[in-house]
């Protein structure tokens, strides 16, 4: 049976991008693979969240996982920080990672640009070595597949590089070379409602539709989505903000609905108000069952604690085995 590993940072509630890029695939995979899904709380420390906010967000991600359909009896669900073995593997992999390749990582460059960090000396070492920690998360269970969105592709390439370097340096065939995975075969990138190409919690709250948004909030957000004055020529190329609405519709609506509005657009008859109303209702149809479960689970701390404890115990068994074997390969043996 294949091993599947993935995680999501607790930086807020999960949105449709997280769902279609990652979570939907987690749920499908839990029936056919040995799955480990975690809340990447160590990773979120690179941006220094407040302690109380971090704690709240960790709980929210676990709630969203369960509400969306992850089953703790099928998948191992845990908090990244409940596995100190990951931190040890991260340390060991750091010896195989080059500062040059880390500095060139696209996600780091984007972070520097978005946060307007003028001086690279101010990048914390956690941010620089972020891909090494991600590799440790994945290799700690020696994964075959990693369900993620398009933005994580490079991190997966780096994971394979570190794994291959380990195998080469120690002349073993120990780590598998895990691949980024999506059921549709292509990795996805869900756009935002604000005209941005990626729905992202850090960029703009209004661009995101959360699984935990109420129907009223979804209606409000979608009706405010950026549009323009409409096409003036038939089959006109769509500007980004309009393309985004169609992409979102493709994710949540039926093919017939999508086709109908595509036709309207191509004939210059599209009414964005109607299109947005339809999009909002289709999003609600899709998120409503998850939303209701979220409300139920939020108040069930005992159950959440039980799930986290059970997951941590199972994940540590697998992680301890890896670290023991890696230590032996490297030559760290007790005298
Ligand atoms: P994070 O927390 O930014 O995002 C979690 C997952 O959601 C996907 N995603 C998207 N997919 C499609 N469209 C979008 N607009 C969109 N926004 C987010 C991401 O691709 C990701 O799959 N570094 C990771 C967390 C992580 C991890 C790991 C993942 C830590 N260790 C080990 C896999 C394996 C991250 O920041 O994801």
User: What pLDDT is recorded for position 84?
Assistant: 97
15 DSSP 8-state letter: B
Residue 318 CA to ligand 1 center (angstroms) comes to: 23
Task: Label residue 114 by pLDDT band (50, 70, 90).
Answer: confident
Find out whether the beta carbon of 18 lies less than 6 Å from any atom of ligand 1: yes
* Distance in angstroms (rounded) separating the CA atoms of residues 4 and 62: 18
* Distance in angstroms (rounded) separating the CA atoms of residues 220 and 288: 15
Residue 73 CA to ligand 1 center (angstroms) comes to: 23
Find out whether the beta carbon of 43 lies less than 6 Å from any atom of ligand 1: yes
User: What pLDDT is recorded for position 203?
Assistant: 64
How many CB atoms within 10 Å of residue 28?
A: 14
Task: Determine whether 324 is an active site residue.
Answer: no
* Distance in angstroms (rounded) separating the CA atoms of residues 117 and 196: 21
How many CB atoms within 10 Å of residue 17?
A: 25
- Answer yes or no: are the C-beta atoms of 38 and 78 closer than 8 Å: yes
Average pLDDT, the chain: 95
Given phi > 0 = left and psi -120 to 50 = alpha, else beta, which region is 16? alpha
Query: Which one is catalytic: 198, 238, 250, 277?
Result: 198
Displacement of CA 271 from its chain's centroid (Å): 33
- Answer yes or no: are the C-beta atoms of 138 and 40 closer than 8 Å: no
Model pLDDT for residues 164-202, shown as the tens digit of each residue: 999 999 999 999 999 999 987 789 999 999 999 999 986
Q: Whose CA is nearest to atom 5 of ligand 1?
A: 8
Query: Is 335's pLDDT higher than 90?
Result: no
Model pLDDT for residues 23-82, shown as the tens digit of each residue: 999 999 999 999 999 999 999 999 999 999 999 999 999 999 999 999 999 999 999 999
Model pLDDT for residues 256-301, shown as the tens digit of each residue: 999 999 999 999 999 999 999 999 999 999 999 999 999 999 999 9
Q: Whose CA is nearest to atom 16 of ligand 1?
A: 17
Residue 110 CA to ligand 1 center (angstroms) comes to: 15
For the chain, the helix, strand and coil percentages under 3-state DSSP, each to the nearest 5 = 60, 5, 35
Task: Determine whether 111 is an active site residue.
Answer: yes
Q: Best mutation site among 107, 152, 155, 200 for ligand 1, i.e. most ligand atoms within 8 A of its Cβ? A: 152
Task: Label residue 245 by pLDDT band (50, 70, 90).
Answer: very high
Residue 266 CA to ligand 1 center (angstroms) comes to: 34
C-alpha pair distances (Å), 86 with each of 42, 46, 140: 10, 16, 6
Find out whether the beta carbon of 193 lies less than 6 Å from any atom of ligand 1: no
pLDDT higher for 136 or 121? 136
């Amino acid at each position: 049976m294949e091993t599947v590993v993935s995680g999501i940072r607790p930086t807020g509630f999960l949105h449709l991008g997280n769902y279609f890029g990652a979570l939907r695939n987690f749920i499908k995979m839990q029936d056919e693979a040995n799955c480990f899904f975690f809340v990447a709380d160590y990773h979120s420390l690179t941006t220094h969240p407040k302690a109380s906010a971090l704690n709240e967000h960790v709980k929210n991600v676990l709630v969203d996982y369960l509400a969306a359909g992850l089953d703790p009896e099928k998948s191992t669900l845990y908090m990244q920080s409940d596995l100190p073995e990951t931190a040890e593997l991260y340390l060991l992999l750091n010896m195989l990672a080059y500062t040059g390749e880390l500095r060139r990582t696209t996600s780091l460059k984007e972070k520097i640009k978005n946060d307007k960090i003028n001086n690279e000396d101010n990048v914390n070492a956690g941010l620089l070595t972020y891909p090494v920690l991600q590799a440790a998360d994945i290799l700690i269970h020696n994964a075959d597949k990693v369900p993620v969105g398009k933005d994580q592709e490079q991190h997966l390439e780096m994971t394979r590089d570190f794994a291959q370097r380990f195998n080469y340096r120690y002349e073993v065939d120990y780590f598998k070379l895990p691949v980024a995975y999506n059921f549709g075969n292509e990795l996805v990138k869900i756009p935002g409602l604000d005209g941005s190409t990626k729905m992202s919690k850090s960029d703009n709250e209004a661009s995101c539709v959360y699984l935990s948004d109420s129907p009223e909030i979804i209606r409000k957000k979608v009706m405010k989505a950026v549009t323009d004055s409409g096409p003036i020529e038939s089959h006109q190329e769509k500007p980004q903000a309009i393309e985004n609405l169609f992409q979102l519709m493709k994710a949540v609506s039926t093919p017939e609905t999508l086709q109908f509005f595509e036709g309207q657009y191509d004939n210059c008859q599209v009414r964005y108000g109607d299109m947005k109303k339809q999009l909002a209702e289709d999003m609600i149809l899709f998120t409503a069952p998850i939303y209701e479960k979220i409300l139920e689970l939020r108040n069930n701390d005992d159950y959440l604690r039980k799930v986290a404890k059970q997951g941590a115990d199972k994940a540590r068994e697998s992680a301890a085995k890896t670290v023991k074997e890696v230590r032996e390969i490297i030559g760290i043996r007790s005298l």
